[in-house]
Amino acid sequence: MLDIKVIRKDPAAAKTSLAARGVKAEEIDKLLDLDQQRRTVLTQTEKLKAQRNEKSKQIAQAKRNQEDAQDQIQAMKVVGEQIKNLDAKLAEIDQAMEYILVRLPNFPDASVPVGPDESYNVEVRKWHEPRKFDFEPQAHWDLGENLGILDFERASKVVGSRFVYYMDQGAKLERAVYNFMLDEHEKDGYTEVIPPYLVNADSMFGTSQFPKFTEDVYTIIDEDRPLTLIPTAEVPLTNYYRGEILSEDQLPTYLTALTPCFRSEAGSAGRDTRGLIRMHQFNKVEMVKYCKPEDSFAELEKLTANAESILQKLELPYHVVALAGGDASFSSAKTYDIEVWMPQQKTYREISSCSNCTDFQARRSQIRYRDAQGKLHFVHTLNGSGLAVGRTVAAILENYQCADGSVEIPKVLVPYMKGITKLSK
């Protein structure tokens, strides 16, 4: 959530910055108008409360002196009613302000490419040239089905579209991929966590999925305690310290987790209907960081490098893209997407998204730290996929395929596959 003080201090800069995220200037004007009303009402309330306190002392003194204080008491009843009405108005204004504030995205950093959509994204770097095939490469779903390791048809029968059964060596490959990732992240200083896969509405609010993106998730309807299946481990990991004050020496904190992720994929009808790219349920290894504000952009570079190192060790070609303001996620101040090469489609596809959310999530979640002087500050939070496991499996199948439909196993995964070096029928 944005700091109203920052918007109030420089409305023009706030409008310009948020315009890149699709926010209309009228929304900022409405917010600032409410803010002015709030301060006016608050001033009136404080004056009346001060007057009431002073008169209460005078009434008490009059009673001690056995003097008639009925007129003053009646006057204070009128003041009390005025205060009650103003407090109600203040609560109404606060609610209206919060409605706007919680729906405003984060300010994009000055280094973020300016533009409304992905066509304005900028390639930052590229690693490894794509392999040149001497045969027409197959799609990963065809490879997986022919090898008997991916079964989309039966998953569709049991659940519906965008689900899959990993079978036999396919299940082993998926497990090998995420175990490799977790081991690598441990070397990079991350603490492994197995978090809850269900979270409450406060947690979804804290990481900005609620209230704006309720249609993108699966929520269990329960009048007493509605819970949501996590769309990413970012939610339980970032909310781990929700409502807490950390000590400065706890920062930075690095957490990583393998979890299933559940997404409704609202609005994606007709997109990636085949294969492992856009699923309703998939595994992902997530990285989350808490750090001091002055360190967060350096930590973003390190976070991105941690995700890249996985692809480099798997020897999968990729490039890194800086997202334009209009293409970045709601809570992000700056995002790098890592896109892996998919030979059959002859294009790069997103496999990781690494974001610095600055203090945006920390304000919503009330996560602060106390510095050496005892002063409180909001932490900065970062998150990144390290990596999306199913997409990594898809990339391995396509990039390591052979002409006969078999698939070689990347060298670093062979120990995790109990020595298996090739998948074949």
Q: Which domain holds residue 63?
A: 4-102
Counting the structural domains of the chain, the total is 2
Which regions of 134-264 does DSSP assign to beta strands (E)? 150-151, 165-166, 191-192, 198-199, 218-220, 227-229, 245-247, 253-262
Q: 319 near 352, Cβ under 8 Å?
A: no
- 187: in domain: yes
Instruction: Report pLDDT digits (tens) over 347-365.
Output: 999 999 999 999 999 999 9
Whether residue 98 is found in the same domain as residue 123 = no
Q: Given this model, what pLDDT does residue 130 score?
A: 97
Question: Do 313 and 237 lie in a common domain?
Answer: yes
Tokens 């339980």 identify what position?
236
121 annotated among ligand-binding-site residues: no
In this structure, the answer to whether residues 93 and 133 fall within a common structural domain is no
Positive/negative CA dihedral, 41, 47, 48, 52: positive
Q: Is 324 exposed, middle or buried (0-12, 13-18, 19+ CB in 10 A)?
A: buried
Cα 138 to Cα 405: distance, rounded to the nearest angstrom: 8
Look at residue 53 in the predicted model and tell me its pLDDT: 87
- 331/184 same-domain check: yes
From 102, 137, 157, give the residue that closes a domain. 102
Question: How far is Cα 254 from Cα 292, in angstroms, rounded to an integer?
Answer: 13
CATH code, domain with 98: 1.10.287.40
Give the whole-number percent of the chain exceeding pLDDT 90. Answer: 89
Q: Which residues are catalytic?
A: 263, 278, 350, 353, 391
Residue 62, pLDDT score: 77
Q: Give 126-143 pLDDT, tens digit per residue.
A: 999 999 999 999 999 999
Residue 63: pLDDT over 90 = no
Asked if residue 112 is part of any domain, the answer here is: no
Instruction: Specify whether the CB–CB gap between 229 and 262 falls below 8 A.
Output: yes
- In terms of domains, do 266 and 385 share one? yes
Distance, CA of 345 to CA of 397 (rounded, Å): 13
Q: Can you give the length of the chain in residues? A: 425
| Per-residue pLDDT tens over the stretch 278-327 | 999 999 999 999 999 999 999 999 999 999 999 999 999 999 999 999 99
For residues 240 and 354, membership in a common domain is answered with yes
DSSP secondary structure string, 57-94?
HHHHHHHHTT---HHHHHHHHHHHHHHHHHHHHHHHHH
215 known member of a binding site: no
Q: What is the pLDDT of residue 424?
A: 96
211 and 291 housed in the same domain: yes
β-pair partners for 76: none
* Residue 420 DSSP class: -
**Together in a domain, 43 and 133:** no
182 and 227 co-located in one domain: yes
Spatial neighbors of 131 by CB under 8 A, at least 6 apart, are 317, 343, 399
Is residue 232 within 8 Å of 357, Cβ to Cβ? no
Considering the domain boundaries, does residue 415 fall inside one? yes
Same domain flag for 165 and 292: yes
**Arithmetic mean of pLDDT, 258-275:** 87
**Same-domain check for residues 211 and 159:** yes
Based on the number of CB atoms within 10 Å of its own CB, is 54 exposed (0-12), middle (13-18) or buried (19 or more)? exposed
Binding residue per annotation — 286? yes
Do the annotations mark residue 73 as ligand-binding? Answer: no
Inform me whether the pLDDT recorded for 113 exceeds 90.
Answer: yes
- Is 40 annotated to bind ligand? no
Residue type, 133: F
| Token pair in block for residue 350 | 């997103």
R_g of the chain, CA atoms, integer Å = 27
8 A C-beta contact, residue 367 and residue 246: yes
Q: Is 263 annotated as a binding residue?
A: yes
For 198-235, write each residue's pLDDT tens digit.
Answer: 999 999 999 999 999 999 999 998 878 899 999 999 99
Cα separation, 329 vs 310, whole angstroms: 23
- Using DSSP, state whether 285 is helix, strand or coil: strand
Nearest Cα residue to 3 out of 106, 96, 112: 106
pLDDT tens, residue by residue, 375-420: 999 999 999 999 999 999 999 999 999 999 999 999 999 999 999 9
Would the annotation count 352 as a binding residue? yes
